[in-house]
Each structure stands twice: as C-alpha cells, then as structure tokens.
Structure 1
Amino acid sequence: MSNVLITGGAGFIGSNLAHKLVANGDNVTIVDDLSMGKRKNIADIDVTFYEHDVCDHGFMHNLLSKGRFDYIYYLAAVASVADSVERPMATHQINQESVVDTLDYLRTQHLPLKRFLFTSSAAVYGNLPDFPKKESSHVQPLTPYAIDKYSSERYTIDYGQLYDMPTVAVRFFNVYGPRQNPESPYSGVLSIITDCLNSGKTFSLYGDGSQTRDFIYVDDVVNALLTIVDKAPEPDVYNVANGMETSLSEVIRTYEKIAHSQLKMEKKDSRNGDISKSRADVTKLQSLGFKPKWTLESGLKNYWSTYGE
C-alpha cells in the first residue's frame, strides 16, 4: 500500500485518479478548495480529505511533514485560460508559486518520496507551426495560464535534475469524461457540449469550429499517469494524449449521433489566447508501454451513458 497525496483531487481528473488508486488499495489524501472540484466526486471512496487552499504554505508544509507521502500528484490549478487573463496574479499564485513552494519544502526537509508528478498543459505549445507537438517542440505560452504551467513544469524537472529528486511532468491535451465540470470555461469543452445536449441549452461556439484538438478519455489519462509514475526513467516531461487530431465541428457531429439530438449553437468570435490546431506526438509516452484503450467515439458513448450519475 502506498501513501498518496493528490492536490486538486476533488476535481475532474484528480477524482478519477483517486478512484483508481483507492481501488488499487492505496491510502489517498486529497487537498482541494472546491473552487472547481466537487465533494460528491469523491464521496463514494475512502480518502482523507482537506478542504483547503494549496497556497496556504504553512498548512501544506505541515501536511507534507506528517503525511510522509510516497507519491504526490500535483493537479491543483486554476484551469481556465480566461480566468488567468482576468486575474493573472491570483492564478499565478496557485498555478506556479504553490508548486515551487511544495517542491522546495520537499527539498529542504529531505522528505522521502518515490515520485512527484506535476500536471502541465498542451497550452504551453501555443500556435507555433511545429506539428504534431513533441515534448522537444518550441513553446509559445500565450496566456498567464500557459506561462505558469510551463514555468512550473520546468521547476519540477529542474528540481529533479539539480537536487536528485524523483520528479516528472505531464502535458495534458484535451481530457474528457465522467465528473468533468461543465462550468469550466476552458478545459471542459466536451462537458459543456454534453450538458447542452442533455439539457437543450445553447452551446457557444467560439470561432468557426475548424479548430482541432487531441481528445483523450479520462480513464486513459489515469492509466497514463500511473505508467509514467512507475516507469519514467528520469525527470522529464511527457505528452498525455491520443495522438489524434479532431476538429470541434467533427466532434459535435459525432456526439449528436450518439445522443440522438441536435446541438443548439450560437457562433461567437474566437477568444484571445485560443489555439487553432493541436495534436500530440505520443512517441515518448508509448515508449513506456502505454496504449490508449478508448477511441473518441467509444469514449463519448461511455461519457454520454454515464452522464448525470
């Protein structure tokens, strides 16, 4: 049995990860301020839960010292590009400062640790022409959110290399599936579409729908994280994606067929900082033995069948 800490563990990806770890017999502690996560996401599993802000460094230091965690999955973040543009300093404190403070406390206190995993984002790639996006591609963070994610992943990797700490970082592409919050203005595009199809609400389509994304089902993401934590040979960054490119218009057409319903849409101008094309090169992740199990269609079918549970 491993002792595991998940920051942001009541959120979408964090709660799915928590369910998997508990099922595997691990002892799981979650810190989440519930600004975007929901208590009900983890209500059916046995975890130690703290409703708290990761920016409270004293609280986090005390927890790290007492918890003696084997694994730390750092998912806590303000996962909204739009919010980071509106509140750059406030989101910076969560998306970067809290990460560096945690890493430095682990370093200075010489706390034993098997792996620290930081969750970054494909947003760091921006709109540069490198395609598909490799971990070695140039980056162009276009928003405070992307800047903080890139900086924090570099801190994570460099702390590992400079101080011999077992760290690793991942860049999530577009993750979707059960427990995704439709109130999220950025990461939850498929959850927003799902909610609109289910309720008959109007979906706001920013741009013409030609923008592409690399969608990956959350169950595959969780398995990728467990693979990376177990098998990554050194501090490094990994794309977590399917390696497939799909336009938003195509996703909507596929989902309408699955839901047997037509999505009501209102077209709006593209948002500042939005990315037009996105697809990951997942060669590095595959080298660890990971293979996704869910196609976009099968993932959407399962998401639709479980929506509202």
Structure 2
Amino acid sequence: MLLDLTSKSIALTGGFGYVGGRIARALIANGAKVSISTRRSDDQIPAWARGNQHVQWGSDLLELSINADTIIHLAAPNEIVASKAPQQSIDETVALTNAALNTAKANSVRRFVYFSTVHVYGAPLIGRLNEKSPVNPAHPYAAAHYESERLVQLCRNSDMQTLILRLSNSFGAPADQGVDRWSLLVNNLCLKAASTRCMTLNTSGTQLRDFIPLTDVVDATLHFMTANDNGWCNQIVNLTAGESMSVCQIAEMVYARAHEIIGPDVILKLPDNIQIEEIDSLHIENDLLRQTGFSPALKFKQEVDMLLEFCRNL
C-alpha cells in the first residue's frame, strides 16, 4: 500500500517488535515521521531505521511523542511469557498501556491505537463472533489485553480518539532478524522447512483459526492513519481475515509453497494414531473494518513465500 504520510508524526511502542516492526517500516517507507520507544541498544537497531532523518528511537516515550498526532501502542508481553508468569504479565501489560495513555494525554496526542487480541472472546474461539459478542478472556494473555482495553476506552473523549484493534492469528516475515516469534504456527512451519526440511504438526490439525497475513495488518494500520473521523467512529474493530482455515489446511499450503521455494525434499509429518475431533465452526466478523473502507487482500501464498525467503536467508 502506497500512501502519502509525509504530514504524519507517529510514535510507536513495540515498534521494533514482530507486528510493530513491520508497521514502523511501512510508515517510514510512506514518508511518515516515526518515533519508536524501544529497549534495544543502538547496535540492535535494524538498517531500515538507520540513517533516516525522519526516524528516531529511544526509551523515553514522553519525549519521543512530543508533537506526535498518533500513538500506536503494541508493547506487551507475548502469550508465552503470559503463560509462564500470568499475574506479572497482566500487571506489566496494564502498566505499559497506562503509561502510554498518560503520555498521550500529557502531549495532547489526538489519536491512540491499541493492538489487542481476538482471544478476549474466549478459548477456544468458536461460533460467529463480532465486536458486540461477550468477552471471556480465559488466558492470562487475553485477560491482560482486555484489562488494557478498558483503560483505553475510559480515555476516549473529544480531545483524543481511540481505536482498539482486536487482531487474530497474524503470520509473516518479521522486519528484521532480531525478532523472535518462531513459536507462531505458520512462522514455525516455514522456519522448519527452511532449516531442517521437516515440518511437523503435533495435533490433528482440525482446529480452526482466523489467519491473517501480516501485510494486511500493516495495510489496515496505514489505512487508519489517513482515515477521517468517520473511520474512527467505532471504539473496537476486529482486525481479522473474516474467514477460518484449519491448521492442517494452512500447513498443507506452507508445504506446497516450500516445495517450490525451498525444494522437493521438504516433508510434512502428521502425528500417528490421532483422534479426530468434531470441528466447531468459527467466523470472526470484520464488517466494521470493511465499513471504514479497508478490506484485507488475504494474499496467503505471497505472505508465505516472503516468510520462506526470510527463513532461508537466516
């Protein structure tokens, strides 16, 4: 997606993370002035952020977001950390969100985007879900994000517009090799295909997921950077594909693309003697997203191809 963002000044937390890195890189490519709050040392900053007069980074969000018109808040412990230290993860997520909101208010930032998760709807995700569906955040990762959502909603007023994006299962190549998100299903399959030529599923693969290419996540974010106030009228928007796919289906897609890109010696191993479970339906609606004028392109094969190429060059 090509947009003219030269008039935009955007601050990001987690801007060198998995999702944040791809968003930050795209914002820079489209001309935005970008400030990234990060714990990385200068020698860990990726090349795409260096040597650009419109990019700055550091640990002080308050200073970085002076004159910013938007803060995009992504910094939070991931689901693996949340599983190992549930309460600590919840406390840290909420504290980071509260700090970002306080910074936005202190600097009179006009817009605030918070990246949440569709897992606030429950676990497992089943049935037809939309933004008005009841929430049941069973996992500490989901609970942490839901608590943060509540803080964001309390801060929405005439001075600051807020937008909560409930993201589904995104996949794709990270923006640089310093990002470690290889536990994600599709990312892990691509990494194994490139490094060992053997991809393994440890379950029946019948589980349904809403997978969304990271390119669509990036393009949706850029869309909201230029959207008028009508595009921000909904406090919560599902950032999803709007369709489901089984784990086995997407594994077979990765397998087919790996054959083309990595080589014909790549294999996909399925578990023996698995018990096939009855599959519940899953449809996480994205009508509100589409009503703002954005529709995900859902170019799954292209995203997998880019991810395989990234893994091959590690």
Which band: TM-score by shorter chain? 0.7 to 0.9
Indicate conservation of the 8 Å contact 2:238/2:285, yes or no.
Answer: yes
The alpha-carbon distance between structure 1 residues 184 and 19, as it changes in their structure 2 partners (threshold 3 A), is closer
1:280 corresponds to 2:279: no
Q: How many angstroms apart in 2 are the aligned matches of 1:215 and 1:68?
A: 36
1:32 corresponds to 2:38: yes
Indicate conservation of the 8 Å contact 1:200/1:263, yes or no.
Answer: no
Indicate conservation of the 8 Å contact 1:201/1:264, yes or no.
Answer: no
Q: How many angstroms apart in 1 are the aligned matches of 2:37 and 2:271?
A: 37
The residue aligned with 1:263 is 268
Secondary structure class of the residue paired with 1:178: coil
User: Paired residue for 1:83, among 81, 84, 93?
Assistant: 81
1:156-167 aligned within 5 A: 156-161=152-157, 164-167=159-162
The residue aligned with 1:60 is 61
The residue aligned with 2:185 is 189
User: Paired residue for 2:172, among 164, 177, 190?
Assistant: 177
TM-score (norm 2): 0.81
The alpha-carbon distance between structure 1 residues 26 and 105, as it changes in their structure 2 partners (threshold 3 A), is closer
User: Paired residue for 1:9, among 10, 15, 20?
Assistant: 15
- 1:85 positional shift: 2.4
Corresponding pairs, count? 287
Deviations 1:120-141 (A, max 9, x none): 0011111377622201111111
The residue aligned with 1:297 is 301
Q: How many angstroms apart in 2 are the aligned matches of 1:189 and 1:136?
A: 28
Indicate conservation of the 8 Å contact 2:76/2:96, yes or no.
Answer: no
- 1:78 positional shift: 1.1
Deviations 1:26-64 (A, max 9, x none): 1111112259xx6337456732122x4xxxxxx434444
1:98-117 aligned within 5 A: 98-107=96-105, 109=106, 111-117=107-113
Q: How many angstroms apart in 1 are the aligned matches of 2:111 and 2:251?
A: 38
The residue aligned with 1:123 is 119
* Residue type at the aligned position of 1:170: L
1:198 corresponds to 2:194: yes
Deviations 1:220-271 (A, max 9, x none): 111111223424333501111111101111111111111112134668x9xx
* Residue type at the aligned position of 2:243: M
The alpha-carbon distance between structure 1 residues 133 and 34, as it changes in their structure 2 partners (threshold 3 A), is farther
Deviations 1:250-298 (A, max 9, x none): 111111111112134668x9xxxxxx87542010000011112233233
* Residue type at the aligned position of 2:35: T
* Residue type at the aligned position of 1:286: R
* Residue type at the aligned position of 2:161: P
Q: How many angstroms apart in 2 are the aligned matches of 1:172 and 1:194?
A: 21
The residue aligned with 2:72 is 73
The alpha-carbon distance between structure 1 residues 31 and 201, as it changes in their structure 2 partners (threshold 3 A), is farther
1:219 corresponds to 2:219: no
Task: Name whichever of 207-216 and 197-206 sits farther off.
Answer: 197-206
1:49 corresponds to 2:57: yes
The alpha-carbon distance between structure 1 residues 12 and 211, as it changes in their structure 2 partners (threshold 3 A), is same
Q: How many angstroms apart in 1 are the aligned matches of 2:151 and 2:95?
A: 10
- 1:25 positional shift: 1.2
Indicate conservation of the 8 Å contact 2:194/2:312, yes or no.
Answer: no
The residue aligned with 1:272 is none
Indicate conservation of the 8 Å contact 2:172/2:187, yes or no.
Answer: yes
Q: How many angstroms apart in 2 are the aligned matches of 1:129 and 1:241?
A: 13
Indicate conservation of the 8 Å contact 1:92/1:144, yes or no.
Answer: yes
Q: How many angstroms apart in 2 are the aligned matches of 1:129 and 1:13?
A: 22
Q: How many angstroms apart in 2 are the aligned matches of 1:127 and 1:6?
A: 29
- 1:306 positional shift: 4.3
Q: Quick one: percent identity of the two aligned structures?
A: 24
Q: How many angstroms apart in 2 are the aligned matches of 1:165 and 1:183?
A: 33
The alpha-carbon distance between structure 1 residues 41 and 238, as it changes in their structure 2 partners (threshold 3 A), is farther
Q: How many angstroms apart in 2 are the aligned matches of 1:128 and 1:202?
A: 28
Deviations 1:88-128 (A, max 9, x none): 23322331111123213433x3x322311000001111137
Q: C-alpha root-mean-square deviation of aligned residues, in Å?
A: 2.9
Deviations 1:72-97 (A, max 9, x none): 110111122x3212212332233111
Task: Name whichever of 6-15 and 91-100 sits farther off.
Answer: 91-100
Consecutive unaligned residues in structure 1, runs of 5 or more: 53-58, 270-275
